[in-house]
Amino acid sequence: MKFSATILSAALLTTSAIAAPLTERRAARNAARAAARADRISRPAYKPDTKELLKVNATTQEEYSSNWAGAVLIGSQYTSVTGEFTVPTPKAPSGSSSDEQYCASAWVGIDGDTCSSAILQTGIDFCIQGGEVSFDSWYEWYPDYAHDFSGLSISAGDVIKLTVTASSKNSGSAVIENVSSGQSVNHKFSGVDDGDLCETNAEWIVEDFESGGDLVPFTNFGTVTFSNAEATSGGTTVGPSGSTIMDIKQSGSVLTKSSATSNSVTNGSIAAAWADRKRNTGLHWYVKEDWEDGKETDFVSLRLFHLPSFNFHTSYPNSGYRPKNRTSSHNQTHQIIPTKMEGTRPIPTFTNEQLELLTQLRVRADDREYARESIMQEAQIIMGMAATLINLHLGDIPHSSDLILAMMHTLKTRMLGLLEEVVELSVEAQMDEWTECRIFETTG
């Protein structure tokens, strides 16, 4: 929700059945799945709102996409990309239907971000439906559909090496090696006329791919880490360090958390990150003098996340009481000073539904931080417009009454819009805080 300088400047100038036996059900499902894969396709990264760009540090930036999570190098003459990962065990999201198939795909590729005319890619799909998991290996030269490899067995826990190589802008190869079993498959592309590569992107991606014209329901894939991640640019081997980080955001919820080092790219399902972190938080109970009335109150201090640009250390009382200056903020540790340590107490156990809800609350809090920045910028614009109106009215600057009326209408509209947004954010923050506290109270 950030306003660019260009947008802000322009804004100042505008005024505007019966159940079958198990074997039959499985056969029917496999047939339907095979038919669905006939139009399975990976798409270029779709970024519906270019304003949703986060600065992670001086050399890395993060973007939201509805279908890609991972790392993208942007440059020139990328002719090869490789990486290894351990095949995850996909899990159905909480509240999922046993009749629905949930999938994700891990792949490496050339182009598809800043160049969308073609993508040379290869990877593994992992899906779950009704408790059954399945894996498919494939190759693709977008805009053509993906094609399945045959003769490659894949199981959860296998180490898979993916490699794509462009010998020209319309020729190349895709290779998948099951390092665990020693099996490998490959496909050569020659004289492809569907679209030429630009060789400007190298990527390591977990994708919510498309089938039948829609994104497939996204599975909880846990964590996928591409190790030994390398690309060749102009004959030089480079790693993912300094790449653009992308995460999947759908319907207002961020579903992944990605990061990159000099030789690896890690993609994690946010719900899985919650579950992993809560097992290793080291829960502590402190006694601290109460801020309001001098009473001693038990506090629980739980590190919910410890991920780049997503670090929370929030403190909650053990009862319904909350100190009047209790706040939650990003990248900030609350000043809870322990005076003595009490005995060991059980670590709260969260249900999957609670974990998902807590994740959504954290994401919304993150969004509100950016919204506040935009609100402050909008307030400054409104003040500037008001000052301009006063100068026009009191000064000697030539103007028409129509201009004054138009500016007053615009000013009124923007003031009401700003007020509405402030109230909406305030109510949302209060409701989310109440919900968050209730979750911790019921698990205490």
Q: How many domains does the chain contain in total? A: 2
Q: Which residue numbers are catalytic? A: 207
User: Is residue 324 domain-resident?
Assistant: no
Same domain for 70 and 205, yes or no, is yes
Q: What is the mean pLDDT of residues 105-127?
A: 94
N- to C-terminal Cα separation, the chain? 36
Residue labelled with tokens 């670090």: 311
**Residue range of the domain that includes 374:** 352-442
Q: What is the mean pLDDT of residues 140-146?
A: 90
Question: Torsion over CA of 17, 21, 40 and 107, rounded to 10 degrees?
Answer: 130
Tens-digit pLDDT profile for residues 281-319: 332 222 222 333 333 333 333 323 222 222 233 333 333
DSSP code at position 352: H
Going by their DSSP bridges, the two strands 244-250 and 61-65 should be labelled as parallel
Residue with more model confidence, 287 or 218: 218
Query: 264 near 225, Cβ under 8 Å?
Result: yes
Tens-digit pLDDT profile for residues 155-169: 999 999 999 999 999
Which CATH number covers residue 187? 2.60.120.700
Asked if pLDDT for residue 63 goes beyond 50, the answer is: yes
Same domain for 104 and 247, yes or no, is yes
Residue with more model confidence, 226 or 113: 226
Q: What is the mean pLDDT of residues 215-236?
A: 95
What b/e sequence results for 45-67 when a residue is b if at least 16 CB atoms lie within 10 Å of its CB, and e otherwise?
Answer: bebeeeebeeeeeeebebbbbbb
Asked if pLDDT for residue 193 goes beyond 80, the answer is: yes
Residue with more model confidence, 324 or 373: 373
User: Is residue 329 domain-resident?
Assistant: no
- Between CA 159 and CA 167, with CA 161 as vertex, the angle to 5 degrees is 175
pLDDT at 18: 27
Query: 238 near 77, Cβ under 8 Å?
Result: no
Write the burial class of residue 31 (CB in 10 Å: 0-12 exposed, 13-18 middle, 19+ buried). exposed
* Distance from C-alpha of 164 to C-alpha of 141, rounded to nearest angstrom: 11
Under the banding of pLDDT at 50, 70 and 90, the label for residue 325 is: very low
User: Is residue 284 domain-resident?
Assistant: no
The whole-model pTM stands at: 0.55
Same domain for 255 and 361, yes or no, is no
Query: To which H or E segment does residue 232 belong?
Result: strand 223-233
Give the end of a domain, one of 248, 275, 302: 275
Give the SS3 label for residue 50. coil
* Distance from C-alpha of 110 to C-alpha of 196, rounded to nearest angstrom: 11
Same domain for 271 and 357, yes or no, is no
Query: 126 near 72, Cβ under 8 Å?
Result: no
pLDDT at 149: 95
Same domain for 270 and 359, yes or no, is no
Asked if pLDDT for residue 98 goes beyond 50, the answer is: yes
Tens-digit pLDDT profile for residues 335-346: 323 333 333 344
* Distance from C-alpha of 205 to C-alpha of 225, rounded to nearest angstrom: 10
Question: Torsion over CA of 6, 9, 14 and 15, rounded to 10 degrees?
Answer: 120
Asked if pLDDT for residue 200 goes beyond 70, the answer is: yes
Q: Which residues contact 302 (CB under 8 A, 6 or more apart)?
A: 278, 281, 283, 314, 315, 316, 348
User: Is residue 394 domain-resident?
Assistant: yes
Average pLDDT, whole number, for the chain?
Answer: 72
pLDDT at 411: 82
pLDDT at 134: 95
pLDDT at 135: 96
